[in-house]
Amino acid sequence: MIKIAVLVSGGGTNLQALIDAWEKNELDGGELSLVISSKHGVGALERAEKAGIKAITIERKKYTRLEDFDAAVAAVLSENGIELVVLAGFLSILGQRTLKLYENRIINVHPALIPSFCGKGFYGLRVHEEALKYGVKVTGATVHFVNEIIDGGKIILQKAVDVLPGDTPETLQQRVMREAEWVLLPKAVAMICAEKELL
């Protein structure tokens, strides 16, 4: 089994999509071994507990320097024998230590079709607000490898989602999650666990 850690900061809907796939044996040899949250008391921690997955909180706000936060994350990943890291609504930046330790073994799901609406500051509702402001007719989600450039790693999978008349950032966010993020993320994890999508 390939030991997977999921890094989260919020409600954990993408984590839930992974849990659902895992419970149906759809991760192709991947095992959800650890959840790390950058915040206390978030819904993702409850989802992890309910699924029987070890969960740890490493509060980003307790660390003045990114390097120290990153070192704490890297240490916990190593101690738990993690082989693949999945960022699922993780709102903190990872530093060089973790990126080097898990080169080509960290993936992220982004709620747009990269290279559109991505990079620094593009997360959460802002992505969908900008898509609507720009007037695009199609948006979607992307799963990509993580490197030192925000949203700049090699693309693994993408899925398009139509923008509908009358969409708000909230309705668009929900549709992108339901039709793209929750579909792509488990699929990408399974592909990597089966060594079908490695650099």
Question: Cβ atoms within 10 A of the Cβ of 116, count?
Answer: 17
DSSP bridge pairs for 139: 161
Each domain of the chain, given as residue ranges in start order, spans: 2-193
pTM of the model: 0.94
CA distances from 102 to 106, 130, 159, 194 (A): 6, 32, 25, 17
pLDDT of residue 160: 98
Residue 197: pLDDT over 70:
no
Q: Which of 199, 197, 173 is nearest to 14 (CA)?
A: 173
Strand 30-37 with 54-57, pairing:
parallel
Catalytic residue selected from 40, 110, 128, 144: 110
142-188 residue pLDDT tens = 999 999 999 999 999 999 999 999 999 999 999 999 999 999 999 99
- DSSP, residue by residue, 183-194: HHHHHHHHHHHT
Q: In CATH, what class is 2-193?
A: alpha beta
Strand order in the sheet with 30-37: 54-57, 30-37, 2-8, 84-87, 106-110, 138-145, 155-162
Token pair of 172, please? 């668009």
9-22 residue pLDDT tens = 999 999 999 999 99
Residue 110 among the catalytic residues = yes
Burial of 26 (0-12, 13-18, 19+ CB in 10 A): middle
Q: Whole-number mean pLDDT of the chain?
A: 95
Q: Which of 45, 81, 39 is nearest to 60 (CA)?
A: 39
